[in-house]
Amino acid sequence: MLKRTILGVLCSLVLASGAMAEENRYDIKPAGDGFIKLDKKTGGLTHCRQIDQNWTCKALNEESTELSASVEDLLADAAKIKQENRDLKAKVAQLEQKLAKLEANPKELKLPSDEDVDKIMGFFEKLMQRFMDFARQMQDKQGEPT
């Protein structure tokens, strides 16, 4: 029993040193007759133990591949959102610069030309003329006997 424990600890140390190479991706803890390895990136759990002088490992959560795919999807979405955020910040900065220029130089405000004003005034003159004609007709109709 003591030999198994010592062997388990040695194996966990070897695996732990390998895990450090992967930037502490794995966390290994003694558990009963073996040890449990946690993959911090995917959330996968593996139980390793010695059976008949051979070490075997079994996944404790079969969903680890689904979790891994889900984590990768979330990371991709986060990267896309970060890029969109950077793009939007750049667009806002551009619009703020344009607004500052307009506020600093109000003379750059484009007013309608004399031709445009003449067109608008012509429209209102026709409108007023028609309204006055309509008012005269209504007044003439009131004076007629029914």
32: Cβ contacts below 8 Å, ≥ 6 apart: 49
Q: How far apart are CA 35 and CA 125, in angstroms?
A: 94
Q: How far apart are CA 19 and CA 76, in angstroms?
A: 24
Q: How far apart are CA 20 and CA 39, in angstroms?
A: 12
Average pLDDT score, the chain? 81
In the structure, what pLDDT confidence band is assigned to residue 117 with cuts at 50, 70 and 90?
very high
Render pLDDT for 5-31 as a digit per residue (tens, 0 to 9): 565 655 666 665 654 556 788 888 888
pTM of the model: 0.32
